[in-house]
């Protein structure tokens, strides 16, 4: 078996970049942007049958893949502390920046045109990244509603410290255990006869347990870790470019076909199993396996499609994908708040303007907030402990994927 990286995330492949996966992050973020554009009348109708919000599932699986790839051999307490500092530095500065930006762009009303509440309690939970643990729509979708995903990511980061222990031997138990959590929450939701989050938002609902809850999403993260373990086992095998290209095309077509079937599969589960099970199926359960296969195949970067994904412009868009993800809905809500400013603009012009503003804003946040804050926090910790703030092996892009929308 291929040796795992050392505790600092470095091995003989130090410096390897999986740029193709970085680029895929952009497409996952774009899917979520298009998903929310629907709410503002921009998205083409032909996308109505696609589960674009399942881009979040891609991020969670990719997070498990990258985190295990970089920190899979982490053992000492010092390594665990450095790992947590690096993870916090990866997501928290941008989270705080967009939290403040919410007030600036929405005229001091962070609940404006949102689906959640803006109470002080919801605000505290949001700042502390604890909102995903409260299965009430007005709480987990409060303020910058998308931050629920990094609330989930923060749980992953902490859970990883325990999951990574002897993972090459214990992975079947971790995967089965995380699947059992999903099943248990489905049974609980059914037993309580919970409605989906659409009705009512202000009560405990099925989406809060099966779409948002960190325990439910843990399965996708562990699945990503398993994919990384499998990939590390075979990554050094020579692969014919033609066969690799066929594999990449096959993985993409399988993923696309799976995406088209998510809603029909979810409807079948709702009619034949339970409404609660369909909530999990529609928000990642139906597509997670094809997503895992896509990540596994593209990570080899051996075919024509992965070569295209390594184009500098796509890699750059992948680098700023976390900022794109975190700010895009705030800009949409700001547009709705100041709709009179744009009166008379044709929808195509408005869409082009929005896209341009989004890219410029995301680039600025990446340059002014993400990179400097990450460097400062990791450097400060390194100076305090006298350790090197070395980079990880295969963090897709220059620092990881957000693999999450923040890893």
Query: What is the per-residue pLDDT across 304-323, written as a single tens digit (0 to 9) for each?
Result: 999 999 999 999 999 999 99
Task: Give residue 401's pLDDT.
Answer: 41
405, 90 in Cβ contact below 8 A? no
Query: What is the per-residue pLDDT across 204-248, written as a single tens digit (0 to 9) for each?
Result: 889 999 999 999 999 999 999 999 999 999 988 888 899 999 999
CA distances from 236 to 8, 14, 64 (A): 21, 14, 21
Indicate the SS3 state at residue 136.
strand
Burial class (CB in 10 A: 0-12, 13-18, 19+), 386: exposed
Task: Give residue 13's pLDDT.
Answer: 34
What letter would DSSP give residue 407?
Answer: -
Percent with pLDDT over 90 in the chain: 69
The separation between CA 359 and the C-alpha centre of its own chain, rounded to angstroms, equals 19
319, 247 in Cβ contact below 8 A? no
pTM value is 0.90
Query: What is the per-residue pLDDT across 344-389, written as a single tens digit (0 to 9) for each?
Result: 888 788 889 999 999 999 999 999 999 999 999 999 998 888 765 4
Task: Give residue 4's pLDDT.
Answer: 35
Query: What is the per-residue pLDDT across 23-55, written as a single tens digit (0 to 9) for each?
Result: 999 999 999 999 998 877 776 665 777 899 999
Query: What is the per-residue pLDDT across 156-215, written as a single tens digit (0 to 9) for each?
Result: 999 999 999 999 999 999 999 999 999 999 999 999 988 876 666 778 889 999 999 999
Parse the chain into domains and list their residue ranges. 26-385
The separation between CA 38 and the C-alpha centre of its own chain, rounded to angstroms, equals 20
């Amino acid at each position: 078996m291929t040796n795992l990286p050392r505790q600092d995330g470095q091995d003989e492949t130090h410096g390897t970049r999986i740029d193709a996966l970085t680029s895929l992050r952009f497409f996952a973020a774009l899917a979520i942007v298009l998903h929310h554009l629907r709410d503002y009348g921009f998205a083409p109708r032909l996308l109505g049958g696609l589960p674009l919000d399942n881009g979040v599932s891609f991020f969670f699986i990719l997070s498990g893949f990258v985190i295990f790839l970089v920190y899979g051999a982490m053992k000492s307490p010092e390594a665990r502390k450095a790992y947590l500092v690096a993870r916090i530095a990866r997501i928290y500065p941008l989270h705080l920046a967009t939290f403040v930006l919410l007030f600036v762009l929405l005229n001091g009303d962070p609940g404006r045109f949102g689906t959640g509440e803006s109470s002080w309690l919801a605000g505290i939970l949001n700042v502390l990244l604890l909102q995903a643990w409260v299965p009430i729509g007005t709480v987990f979708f409060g303020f910058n509603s998308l931050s629920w995903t990094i609330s989930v990511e923060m749980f992953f980061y902490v859970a990883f410290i325990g999951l990574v222990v002897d993972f090459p031997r214990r992975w079947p138990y971790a995967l089965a255990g995380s699947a059992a959590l999903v099943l248990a929450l489905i049974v609980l939701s059914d037993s309580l006869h919970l409605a989906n989050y659409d009705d009512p938002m202000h009560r405990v609902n099925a989406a809060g347990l099966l779409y948002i809850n960190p325990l439910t999403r843990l399965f996708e993260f562990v699945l990503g870790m398993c994919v990384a373990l499998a990939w590390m086992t075979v990554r050094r095998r020579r692969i014919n470019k033609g066969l690799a290209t066929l594999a990449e095309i096959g993985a993409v077509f399988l993923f696309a076909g799976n995406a088209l079937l998510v809603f029909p599969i979810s409807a079948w589960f709702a009619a034949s199993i339970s409404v609660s099970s369909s909530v999990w199926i529609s928000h990642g359960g139906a597509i997670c396996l094809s997503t895992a296969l896509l990540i596994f195949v593209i990570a080899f970067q051996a075919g024509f499609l992965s070569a295209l994904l390594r184009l500098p412009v796509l890699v750059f868009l992948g680098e700023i994908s976390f900022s794109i993800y975190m700010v895009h809905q705030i800009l949409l809500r700001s547009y709705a708040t100041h709709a009179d400013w744009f009166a008379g603009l044709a929808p195509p012009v408005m869409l082009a303007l929005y896209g341009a503003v989004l890219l410029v804003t995301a680039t600025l946040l990446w340059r002014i907030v993400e990179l400097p804050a990450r460097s400062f926090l990791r450097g400060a910790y390194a100076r305090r402990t006298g350790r090197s703030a070395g980079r990880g092996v295969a963090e897709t892009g220059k620092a990881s994927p957000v693999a999450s929308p923040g890893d």
